[in-house]
Amino acid sequence: MSAPVSSVHKPIKQKDRAQTEPAVVRWLLIATALVFLALFLLLPLAAVFSQAFEKGLTVYLDALKEPDTLSSIKLTLITAAVTVPLNLFFGVTAAWAIAKFSFPGKNLLITLIDLPFSVSPVISGLIYVLIFGLQGWIGPWLQEHDIKIVFAVPGIILATIFVTFPFVARELIPLMEAQGKEEEEAALVLGASGLQTFFRVTLPNIKWGIIYGVILCNARAMGEFGAVSVVSGHIRGMTNTVPLHVEILYNEYNYTAAFAVASLLAFLALITLMVKTVAEWKIRNQVEG
C-alpha cells in the first residue's frame, strides 16, 4: 500500500475562529449534544445487546444457530454479495463518466442516480411487483417459462440493488470532481492507455472513497427492510432476510432470539462506522494532498 500523501505536505490549519464564545455556552452545547446522543443512539443500541444476552450466551448462540435464522443470514449474505459488486461497478463507471467528462444529459444522469434516495422503499419494492408480478407487465410470460422473480431471491436482489444504487456513485462523484482531471491528462500525455490510466492513476486516488461507498452500500444492502419486505413473500427459511427475520421472531414473542439476530445487524453497523471513520480520514488526506 503506497501512501501518496505524507503529513509533512499538509497545510497547517489556522486556529478556529468559532471558538470565541464563553466557555459556558460551549459546554452547554456539548452537553446537549452528548445527552441527545446517549438518549437516541447509545441507549437503544445498549438495549438491543442487553435484550439479546438477557438469557445468557448459550441462548444467544442457540437463537443464531436455528435453521431459519441461518438461512436468513445466508440469504442476506448472498444478496449483499451480488448487490455490492454490481453497484460498485456501476458506481465507479458512473462517477468516472460524470466527474471526468462532459456530455449531454449529464445532469439528468446525476438526478436519476439520486432517484432511489428520494423514493420510499415501499415504492421501490412495489415497482418490481408491478413489473414482474403475476398481474404485472411480464409476469404472465415469466410464469409460462417458470421463471420466478418476485417472491423469490432474484426479486429480493433486484429491490436491494435499486435501493443501494446511489451509494458508491454519490460518494465518488464529489471526490473525483475535487481531484480534477490533471493527473489523468498527464498520464495520457505520457502515453498511458485508457485502462492503464484508470487502474494506475484514477483508482489509487479514489480507493478510500470506493471503500467508503462500498461499506455504506453493504450496510444498507444487508439492512434493507421496506423494499425487500414487499417482494419477499416472507417464506420462512427461503425468502426471509435478516431484517425480515427479526420482525418475524419479534412477532412470535421470541424476543430474545429477535434481539440476538438484531444484534448481528448492530454489529454490522458498528463495523461499518469504524471503517467509515478510517475511510473518511484517508479521503481527507487524499483531497488535501
Partner 1 sequence: MNIKKIVTTLVTLALAVSTTTAAIAADITLLNVSYDPTRELYVDINNAFAQQWQKKTGNKVTIKQSHGGSGKQARAVIDGLEADVVTLALAYDIDAIAEKGLIKPGWQKELPHNSSPYTSTIVFLVRKGNPRKIKNWDDLVKPGVSVITPNPKTSGGARWNYLAAWAYALHQPGGNDAKARDFVAKLFKNVPVLDSGARGSTNTFVQRGLGDVLLAWENEAFLAINELGPDKFEVVTPSESILAEPPVTVIDKVADKRGTRQVAEEYLKFLYTDEGQKIAAKHYYRPINTKIPIKLAKLKLYTIDKAFGGWQKAQKTHFADGGTFDQIYAPSK
248 binds partner 1 per the rule CB under 8 A: yes
Distance, CA of 271 to CA of 113 (rounded, Å): 26
Q: Does 259 bind partner 1 (CB under 8 A)?
A: no
Cα dihedral value 84, 89, 90, 96, nearest 10? 130
Q: Which is nearer to partner 1, 110 or 247 (CB)?
A: 247
Return the half-sphere exposure (C-beta side, CA atoms, 13 A cut-off) of residue 220. 23
Q: Name the region of 66 (left: φ>0; alpha: ψ -120 to 50; beta: rest).
A: beta
Q: CA 102, CA 48: separation in Å to the nearest integer?
A: 48
According to the binding rule CB under 8 A, does residue 275 interact with partner 1? no
Binding of partner 1 at residue 277 (CB under 8 A)? no
132 binds partner 1 (CB under 8 A): yes
237 sits in the region (left: phi over 0; alpha: psi -120 to 50; else beta) called left
Residues 52 and 256 sit within 8 Å (Cβ to Cβ) = yes
Cβ atoms 219, 279 nearer than 8 A: no
Surface-to-core class of residue 266, CB atoms within 10 Å of its CB (0-12 exposed, 13-18 middle, 19+ buried): middle
Give the residue among 227, 243, 232 at the shortest CA–CA distance from 126.
Answer: 227
Residue 96 binds to partner 1 (criterion: CB under 8 A): no
Binding pattern for the stretch 16-55 against partner 1, x by CB under 8 A and - elsewhere? ----------------------------------------
Nearer to partner 1, 78 or 97 (CB): 78
> Does 201 interact with partner 1 (rule: CB under 8 A)?
no
Q: Which residue has the cell 442516480?
A: 113
- CB-nearer residue toward partner 1: 84 or 261: 84
Q: How far apart are CA 177 and CA 95, in angstroms?
A: 9
* Closer residue to partner 1 (CB): 100 or 207: 207
Q: Pick from 43, 134, 270, 274: which binds partner 1 (CB under 8 A)?
A: 134
Q: How far is the CB of 274 from partner 1 (least distance, A)?
A: 17
CB 71 within 8 A of CB 149: no
Q: For residue 32, give the C-alpha cell.
A: 446537549
By CB under 8 A, residue 276 contacts partner 1: no
**Minimum gap (Å) between residue 107 Cβ and partner 1:** 29
**Residue 136 binds partner 1, judged by CB under 8 A:** yes
Q: Closer CB to partner 1, residue 179 or residue 229?
A: 229
Near partner 1 by CB under 8 A: residue from 110, 192, 238, 269: 238
CB of 238 to partner 1, least distance (A): 6
Q: Is 98 helix (H, G, I), strand (E, B) or coil?
A: helix
User: Residue 148 or 284: which CB sits closer to partner 1?
Assistant: 148
Residues that bind partner 1 (CB under 8 A): 1, 74, 77-78, 81-82, 84-85, 88-89, 129, 132-136, 139, 143, 148, 150-151, 153, 203, 207, 210-211, 233-238, 248, 250-253, 255
